[in-house]
């Protein structure tokens, strides 16, 4: 039996549903914060504020992911990939 859905049947291959991340899914929050920190780091010594990081995280998450600021701040305060320098944050 062939599994090539595009050959001869004219039907599309099945697509499994991909659930939207839960707003309290810490893994999704960590990933968004890491991406936001990378976006805010054009140079190795660049730093940014917590508010800038929150804004960039929300921008990247879009309207589909509603983030609770308390959860985001918990992740920021415990993240091992961020370093606090003079009241600002920097990637390690």
- What is the tens place of the pLDDT at every residue in 2-58? 555 555 555 665 666 656 555 567 788 888 899 999 999 999 889 999 999 999 988
Q: At what angle do helices 26-39 and 50-61 cross, to 10 degrees?
A: 110
Q: Is the pTM of this model over 0.85?
A: no
- What is the tens place of the pLDDT at every residue in 74-85? 888 888 999 999
The sign one gets for the Cα dihedral 58, 61, 64, 70 is negative
Q: Which residue has the tokens 């805010």?
A: 40
């Amino acid at each position: 039996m062939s599994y090539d859905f595009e050959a001869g049947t004219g039907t599309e291959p099945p697509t499994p549903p991909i659930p939207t991340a839960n707003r309290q899914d810490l893994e999704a929050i960590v990933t968004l914060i890491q991406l936001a920190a990378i976006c805010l780091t054009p140079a190795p010594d660049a730093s940014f504020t917590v508010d800038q990081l929150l804004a960039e995280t929300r921008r990247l998450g879009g309207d589909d992911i509603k983030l609770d600021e308390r959860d985001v701040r918990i992740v920021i305060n415990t993240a091992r990939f961020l370093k606090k320098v003079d009241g600002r944050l920097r990637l390690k």
